[in-house]
Structure 1
């Protein structure tokens, strides 16, 4: 039973279905959220305390005044009529800071402060007297654009019920100070939050730079550099250094495995090519001298010879790739006239293409620097690929032209085309688009060899294709002229 090791998922379970986001974003938002909540809580607590300091003292004074008022009225009532006693207490100098009025049980005012009669505008006085939400305990309300601490309730001395007693203090100036302080505190908190968020984002980004550096360095490592490339960091945190060391150890293991694989492929290909070449030679010799062979025997020998030849080509391709991987693929770069080279390639391809290769007229002379024999091999591989996947009666077009500082050589066919999702992978080793291409006789190495040879000569190769309209393989080299 095959065992598969899985990497454990980390993170809260409620994030499982969320799209992944960067560590920098997670840390920034998380720390900023905690900082905002904390700073907002401090701001709210400070605002509440300031309000308490500005308002609560008025509430306490009003509550003390109500208690003292009842006591004074009781004393004065022993010496004069009750209504007169109430008015006398209201007119005491110590009580003139508050607005006080008393209503009898019929709702008529029987006593009120002098300042309520003289200092308050009539409309404001009427608004205060007619205010219907008067609380029993001192509270803050906004009446006619001003802020007041007010309270009201039943007024009874002994067994005698006067009616209702109302007391009001104007705290507009204090409350405006509170609002001003609150606005300043909110703006200061917002400014502090912006500075805090900026500082946190900068610090987190700076802290994660070593990880980004590791990612960039790892992204540039190719298979050919596994044994030489190592991740090196300066002044990185210990956790990041540990990650880099772990990656370097992994690169060592990958380099060893890759080297063993290349050696195995090269050795096997080399060892098998010689006996298969001998077998293929004997089969061809037997077919040439086999006048007494029956038709069935001849067909069997021809099939065996064809498979041996295909296997030899496959081993040859593997050897070419193994040499390229080991850096032992020798290329002799020299100036080449593209016009003459393409004429030679077309002439060579006519023997197996049955006249289907067409060379488009080239304007002027095109010159590049490449290995002539290897470039012929590249073009013949592309032509062979085009012939395999095109209808037998459709032509294969070769053309070349100059674009700015480069020369483009194109091989065009009218085959079924290559899906867009496969175009980026067709130059990989042993990659085939579908089973139809496998039945066409391909090994999946032809285009990989084309890419290896072209890039070894300093060029590039690509493909443009649409389904049902054919494919165009383009080999590009710097213009040598």
Structure 2
């Protein structure tokens, strides 16, 4: 629309400028040569012979005898041959041609152009034809204005697109109280209004999700509180029983096992409460070799209760930026899960894979493996099933907690099966050398 108005305006200005130049006698009007030829023809009709000196400037002529042979001309052979064709069809002379017949039956054919010309002969000699020059300037101005309007439109579009970027960044940061901006482009304004509706729907969804998470956190907190009392009773009674000097070696070993597991259960409850309360452990640069040693030591304590063989394969090197205590508890949860489902005197394998940019910790058990439903849902909070890998008292929190902590530490947990049992793989990115301590 704007470009069309600009073109019409420039065209009108071009016509006005041409009219001004004509009125100021800077250029001749386009029909100037035609008027001169008409005057020449009018004068020649009263004369008996042709006089070449009387032909107007910038007009071509060719004089022919009665037999149509060319006698005299001021133009090229090609042009006068075209002019001779007018003699054969005098009633159909093309525009720009005029014929004058003399008493001696000779004929002169005049040819002129309908073009503007400079009045000053110097301009006529050194400058391009005024017709082409003025049209060229008009075309240049049109192209220049189109370029300017395109640049302005581009800046306008970029500004409007930046509005979408701002909205996207706010949504990414979950800042849903910001005011959706407006655009003076109709289509963009419609899209921004749609995004405003999406913002409201997303805000309501997040509020609902937050309320649901709060409810789940309250459930976990209540569950942790309920478990704390029986665990305290078990631990206290075990300590009292250990004071009995009449216990057999097997009884004493069993009581010590009960106390170790009770202690681990208490640690788990503490971690669970910390997670539900949003407690955030400070992340540090952790030596992966030392981390492997600590995990292996904890795993050896766990497999001892069921006389399970622990196989350790591979060595970790380098550093990883993570919440160390939370991460170790997450790995121990995975190992506890493997111990729970591995048969007595079975085998559990800890595989430590070391790559340039990441490490992998694999826990391989000899249990019944994960069912199809478990492969999809085992890391969901409170999920449990009545088929494979079901244990009485299992509340669906172990793998959920492990997965939650691993993801918060920029890791990734994968659950799958082998021919011998279940497999849990934890992939963790290393830090760059410049961050190592």
The TM-score normalised by the length of structure 1 is: 0.50
Whether 1:344 aligns to 2:297 is yes
Mapped pair 1:360 → 2:313? yes
Match of residue 167, structure 1, among 96, 110, 118: 110
* SS of equivalent residue, structure 2 residue 112: strand
CA 1:342 to 1:277, structure 2 compared with 1: closer, same or farther past 3 Å? closer
* Alignment pair present for 1:108 and 2:68: yes
Instruction: Assess if the C-alpha contact under 8 Å between 1:357 and 1:395 holds in 2.
Output: yes
Asked whether the 8 Å contact 1:378–1:450 carries over to 2, the reply is yes
- TM-score normalised per structure 2: 0.54
User: Which residue matches 1:453?
Assistant: 405
Which residue in 2 is equivalent to 1:258?
209
**Structure 1: 5+ residue stretches without partners:** 1-33, 77-83, 140-149, 279-316, 418-422
Shift of residue 343, structure 1, vs aligned partner: 1.9
Which residue does the alignment assign to 2:75? 120
Question: SS where residue 168 of structure 2 aligns?
Answer: helix
SS of the residue corresponding to residue 411 of structure 1 reads strand
Contact 1:58-1:169 within 8 A present in 2 as well: no
Query: Which one of 39, 42, 54 corresponds to residue 93 of structure 1?
Result: 54
State how far apart, in whole Å, the 1-side matches of 2:415 and 2:108 are.
Answer: 95
TM-superposed deviation, 1:128: 4.4
CA spacing shift, 1:65–1:277, aligned 2, 3 Å: same
Distance (Å, rounded) in 2 between the aligned partners of 1:136 and 1:427 = 98
The 1-side partners of 2:106 and 2:73 are apart by 24
SS in 2 for 1:362: coil
Shift of the alpha carbon at 1:168? 0.7
CA displacement at 1:334 relative to structure 2: 12
Helix, strand or coil at the partner of 1:410: strand
- Name the residue aligned to 1:12: none
Q: What SS does the corresponding residue of 1:327 show, helix, strand or coil?
A: coil
Offset at residue 196 of structure 1 (A): 2.8
Deviations 1:393-414 (A, max 9, x none): 997443265969xx94522669
Give the CA deviation at 1:324.
3.3
- Structure-to-structure mapping, 1:46-445, within 5 angstroms: 57-59=29-31, 61-62=33-34, 65-66=37-38, 76=46, 85=48, 87-88=49-50, 93=54, 98-101=59-62, 108=68, 117=72, 119-122=74-77, 124-126=79-81, 128-129=83-84, 136=92, 139=95, 150-151=96-97, 166-169=109-112, 174=117, 176-221=129-174, 230-231=177-178, 253-269=204-220, 324=275, 326-328=277-279, 337-350=290-303, 355=308, 357-362=310-315, 370=323, 372=325, 374-383=326-335, 396-399=349-352, 408=359, 410-411=361-362, 429=380
User: Residue 65 and residue 269 in structure 1: after superposition, are their counterparts in 2 closer, same or farther (change >3 A)?
Assistant: same
SS in 2 for 1:358: strand
Shift of 1:318: 12
CA distance in 2, matches of 1:45, 1:431: 79
Answer yes or no: is the 8 Å Cα contact 1:335–1:369 preserved in 2: yes
RMSD: 6.4
Q: Please give the alpha-carbon distance, in whole angstroms, between the structure 2 residues aligned to 1:51 and 1:361.
A: 90
Q: Which residue of 1 aligns with 2:232?
A: none
For residue 216 of structure 1, report the CA deviation from its aligned partner. 1.0
Q: For the residues of structure 1 that align with 2:16 and 2:426, how far apart are their CA atoms?
A: 78
Question: Tell me, which stretches of 5 or more residues in structure 2 are unaligned?
Answer: 118-127, 230-267
Q: Which residue pairs with 1:462 in the alignment? A: 412
The count of corresponding residues between Structure 1 and Structure 2 is: 359
Provide closer, same or farther for how the CA distance between residues 431 and 136 of structure 1 changes in structure 2, counting only shifts above 3 A: farther
Distance 1:61 1:394, change over 3 A: farther
Q: Secondary structure at the match of 1:359?
A: strand
8 Å contact from structure 1 (residues 451, 460) kept in 2? no
- Cα 1:334/1:475, change in 2 over 3 Å: closer
